[in-house]
A and B are shown apart, each in its own frame.
Chain A
């Protein structure tokens, strides 16, 4: 077995089963576990997926949302045990892999992505 195959095997052994299929542009709610001492509670973060990167256990994604006129981006490791759930709220239409142009947006436009339905209506 070649070196890269061994590395791939190690990385595949760590991935979670049944991770949700979502892509850049989708609006998702990410539930992460927060451990405070012995207590474990769930924190949710909703926003647009602006970036997906990495493969196998290294796969991570970034979610963006404008809160109180301040842009907040959080990056999650998809296969981390702390990321309990990623549920899809809306399927978005993204024409590029990285939605960095959202960073320049202000106001109502900043949190809104074109959805699949709206695209059907306009055409």
Chain B
């Protein structure tokens, strides 16, 4: 069965076990998610929409207020649909807790990376930099972007400077180190993209 959950990144720390092995971990707060909607597809799959957090009514547009009114549910701050088998039997109003995961599970995490604004090619595409001295003026410039008269144009998709970050990224195979049901926390080995905030966890 597919497992999925919406957590909230709190920050990073480290765990030391009895053998002195230090594991860097990301701590996610794991308040129970609510099944907000289920959308059946023709292929025997269903999209289960989970919602977490609270949001002010005024923050929602008509589309949002209408949706939650129809469902008879308090508005949620973050919604995400996960596709799973119809047989897994999710129903609207059901709560999904952090107990779907157990230690040693491998999970994927999808979240929004830190926005870096308009960025040069060195940071954005790992280009090399030019010499900083000895008369060089090509410090951080991208260099040639193509040949001359033939082809007489710049190829599409050429890597250039531009907006970097603030996009969704999925990190696969993060190990669940500990699930604290009392404290409602999930510990994942390694880093999770982005600032503290909502992250989608699934496997």
Contacting pair B16 A14 (CB below 8 A): yes
Q: How far is the CA of A4 from the CA of B13 in the complex (A)?
A: 10
- Say yes or no for A11: interface residue by CB 8 A criterion: yes
| Inter-chain CB contacts under 8 Å: number | 42
- Say yes or no for B44: interface residue by CB 8 A criterion: no
| Given contacts A3-B11, A7-B10, A77-B22, A57 and B16 within 8 Å (CB-CB) | yes
Q: Which residues of B contact A10 (CB under 8 A)?
A: 13, 27, 185
How many chain A residues sit at the interface, stated as a range, is 10 to 19
User: Mostly helix, strand, loop or mixed at chain B's interface?
Assistant: strand
Closest to A11 in B: B13
Q: Which residues of A contact B29 (CB under 8 A)?
A: 3, 6
Q: How far is the CA of A94 from the CA of B157 in the complex (A)?
A: 58
B: number of interface residues (CB 8 Å): 16
Contacting pair B27 A81 (CB below 8 A): no
Contacting pair A7 B13 (CB below 8 A): yes
Q: How far is the CB of B185 from chain A (nearest CB, A)?
A: 7
The 24 sampled A-B contact pairs (Cβ below 8 Å) are A3-B29, A3-B196, A4-B11, A6-B11, A6-B27, A6-B29, A6-B185, A7-B11, A7-B12, A7-B13, A7-B27, A10-B185, A11-B13, A14-B15, A57-B13, A57-B14, A58-B13, A77-B16, A79-B16, A81-B18, A81-B19, A81-B20, A82-B19, A82-B20
